[in-house]
């Protein structure tokens, strides 16, 4: 299978079951909402080292937010509900509670929930006030610029993390430009985030290492400088490989994002050789995204 | 929707409509409803003697042509919608738990309050009056919202422990007396409030935007409010919020 001359490998991306929530952060201006959201989703690239994976999903017009102010929707993914329950109050407490004029709402209606204000209310030291409106509970926590308004809980759903594809290019520049096109096309889609900086990863990893302390190490089969090694997976003319990792609320959200990203990457005369995907032989993840099915 | 219209020429005496709420009437046929006992003065009469029953059973119940003799409308309501095209007497929405009570006229004393001798008032839902209410509206409120479109009498929100009371006209004397933790949101300064409230200055409270949206009010109406914290004789965790220019 080829797309504008770029080979779509007969491989699959392996993804995992995760727990996710959507938070809506509003503020007096879009700039302040974005600052809070960027801080909340900062250092949240991989559950391995960050406890969760988070990103900005989209900006919201005042008419689309609960309080009629500009807002940002963020998605937070964690490996378990316990991890999510730990990360969400921690991040909201450090990054939104602290940020002038902001408020936090649940962005998902779901039977299961994760605590937000229910934990942060204690910051109010007894001066906090609970209010119930239209079935939802909110906390008003006195802070130095007035009150921090925070949803008691946010909806939590089962989600999918670790969808991915690899961009194999003839030069570093061509590969980077293709990744940038892919990210641009994917970031407009709902229900997905690309947790890595700029949406792109250059340090794809394999499971295990020659060093016993490491559970993962560099994916040497895709490192172009190691192409002479017997187990290299790279064709001779590949000089650079970049990966795009996708977390989404559902399998179909991830498939849609992969489709849009791969199509954008494989523009005419892109300088790409192949689109591949990362997996662990299908042994670890619950979900598989076969590239040729996704692009079919 | 079932509609109960008060007949003309009903004999004198107060009418108690306690128990005539949407969840109690849901699924009942008009014939069954007509036989329900009501208290008129000091005697029991079948509902049909006082009200004409029309419509089919459902989540919504309506009263029409009611007047200030009709007491206990929506008392103990635990769901559904109750619309009153007319005035209500005493005790409307008393000890309500859930649902929406909407009185398009005025209501008497003890609107959305508690049963006599108990300290447990409204536990949830929205009790709304488009015009005026009498004394002690929202007394002992625990949760839910009381919305008064016109003026409220004396001791509005007295001894409320939580929840929100909104008065779009003017509240009477001693508004918020012994308020524990609830919010009184007032469009104007009340006739008076206990001296045990402290002026905390003017603020923009985001919560009031959500409240205004939820109640279908103009969002700018309570954009800035003066906050009076109190009642300090019972802990001072409540507040009277008065719209500020």
pLDDT of the residue at B219: 83
Report, as an integer, the average pLDDT of B85-103: 97
pLDDT of the residue at A182: 98
A180 touches chain B (CB under 8 A): no
Q: Is residue B43 part of a domain?
A: no
Of A68, A140, A149, the CB nearest to B219: A68
Do the chains contact at A149 and B207, CB–CB below 8 Å? yes
**Mind telling me how many Å the CA of B237 is from chain A's nearest CA?**
7
**Is residue B89's pLDDT more than 90?**
yes
pLDDT of the residue at B50: 97
pLDDT of the residue at A98: 98
- In chain A, the N- to C-terminal Cα span, in Å, equals 9
Q: Per the structure, how many domains does chain B have?
A: 1
**Mind telling me how many Å the CA of B134 is from chain A's nearest CA?**
25
Give CA angle at B5 (B11, B146), nearest 5°: 105
A72 touches chain B (CB under 8 A): no
Do the chains contact at B211 and A149, CB–CB below 8 Å? no
Q: How far apart are CA B15 and CA B72, in angstroms?
A: 9
User: Which residues span the domain enclosing B76?
Assistant: 61-243
Q: Is residue B37 part of a domain?
A: no
pLDDT of the residue at B74: 97
**Is residue A207's pLDDT more than 90?**
no
Report, as an integer, the average pLDDT of A226-237: 92
**Is residue A13's pLDDT more than 90?**
yes
Binned at pLDDT 50, 70 and 90, residue B155 comes out as: very high
Mind listing the domains of chain A with CATH numbers? 2-14+161-295 (3.30.70.520), 17-157 (3.30.70.520)
Q: Is residue B11 part of a domain?
A: no
* Residues of chain A found within 8 Å of residue B145, distances taken between Cβ atoms: 133
Q: Is residue B211 part of a domain?
A: yes
Binned at pLDDT 50, 70 and 90, residue A74 comes out as: very high
Binned at pLDDT 50, 70 and 90, residue B215 comes out as: very high
Of A68, A134, A147, the CB nearest to B205: A147
Q: What is the pLDDT of residues A26-48, one digit of tens each?
A: 999 999 999 999 999 999 999 98
- In chain B, the N- to C-terminal Cα span, in Å, equals 42
**Mind telling me how many Å the CA of A131 is from chain B's nearest CA?**
7
pLDDT of the residue at A284: 79
Q: Is residue B30 part of a domain?
A: no
Give CA angle at A70 (A68, A73), nearest 5°: 105
**Is residue A254's pLDDT more than 90?**
yes
3-class state of residue B124 by DSSP: coil
Q: What is the pLDDT of residues B122-144, one digit of tens each?
A: 999 999 999 999 999 999 999 99
Mean residue pLDDT of chain B comes to 96
Of B143, B206, B237, the CB nearest to A67: B206
Mean residue pLDDT of chain A comes to 96
A139 touches chain B (CB under 8 A): no
pLDDT of the residue at A137: 97
Q: Is residue B79 part of a domain?
A: yes
Alpha helices in chain B (DSSP H): 22-25, 30-35, 47-50, 206-215
């Amino acid at each position: 299978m080829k797309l504008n001359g770029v080979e779509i490998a007969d491989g699959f991306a392996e993804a995992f079951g995760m727990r996710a929530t959507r938070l809506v952060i509003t503020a007096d201006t879009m700039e302040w909402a974005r600052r809070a959201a960027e801080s909340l989703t900062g250092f949240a690239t991989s559950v391995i080292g960050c406890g969760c994976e988070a990103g900005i999903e989209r900006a919201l017009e005042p008419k689309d937010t609960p309080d009629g102010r500009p807002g940002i929707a963020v998605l937070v993914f964690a490996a378990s509900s316990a991890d999510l329950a730990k990360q969400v109050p921690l991040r909201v407490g450090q990054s939104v509670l602290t940020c002038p004029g902001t408020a936090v709402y649940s962005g998902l209606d779901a039977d299961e929930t994760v605590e937000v204000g229910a934990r942060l209310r204690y910051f109010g030291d007894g001066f906090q006030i609970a209010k119930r409106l239209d079935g939802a509970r909110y906390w008003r926590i006195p802070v130095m610029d007035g009150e921090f308004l925070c949803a008691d809980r946010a909806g939590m759903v089962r989600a999918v993390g670790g969808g991915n594809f690899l961009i194999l290019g003839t030069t570093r520049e061509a590969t980077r430009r293709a990744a940038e096109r892919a990210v641009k096309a994917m970031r407009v889609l709902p229900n997905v985030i690309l947790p890595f900086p700029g949406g792109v990863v250059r340090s794809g990893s394999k499971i295990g290492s020659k060093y016993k302390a490491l559970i993962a190490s560099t994916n040497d089969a895709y490192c172009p400088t190691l192409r002479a090694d017997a187990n290299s997976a790279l064709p001779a003319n590949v000089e650079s490989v970049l990966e795009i990792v996708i977390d989404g609320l559902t399998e179909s959200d991830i498939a849609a994002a992969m489709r849009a990203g791969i199509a954008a990457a494989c523009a005419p005369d892109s300088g790409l050789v192949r689109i591949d995907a990362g997996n662990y032989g299908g042994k670890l993840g619950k979900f598989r995204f076969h590239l040729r099915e996704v692009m079919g | 929707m079932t509609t109960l219209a008060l007949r003309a020429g009903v004999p004198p005496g107060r009418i108690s409509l306690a128990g005539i709420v949407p969840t109690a009437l849901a699924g009942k046929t008009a014939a069954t409803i007509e036989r329900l006992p009501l208290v008129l003065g000091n005697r029991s009469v079948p509902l049909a003697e006082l009200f004409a029953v029309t419509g089919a059973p459902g989540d919504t119940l309506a009263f029409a042509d009611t007047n200030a003799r009709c007491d206990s409308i929506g008392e103990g309501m635990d769901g559904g919608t109750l619309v009153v095209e007319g005035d209500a007497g005493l005790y409307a929405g008393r000890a309500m738990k859930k649902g929406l009570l909407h009185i398009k006229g005025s209501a008497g004393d003890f609107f959305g309050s508690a049963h006599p001798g108990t300290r447990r008032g409204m536990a949830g839902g929205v009790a709304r009056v488009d015009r005026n209410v009498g004394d002690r509206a929202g007394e002992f409120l625990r949760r839910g919202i009381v919305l008064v479109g016109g003026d409220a009498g004396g001791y509005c929100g007295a001894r409320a422990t939580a929840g929100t009371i909104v008065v779009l006209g003017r509240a009477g004397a001693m508004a918020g007396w012994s308020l524990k933790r609830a919010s009184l949101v007032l469009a104007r300064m009340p006739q008076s409030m206990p001296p045990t409230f402290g002026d905390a200055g003017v603020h923009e409270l985001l919560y009031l935007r959500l409240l205004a949206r939820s109640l279908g009010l103009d969002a700018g109406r309570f954009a800035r409010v003066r906050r009076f914290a109190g009642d300090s004789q019972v802990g001072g965790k409540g507040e009277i919020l008065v719209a500020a220019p």
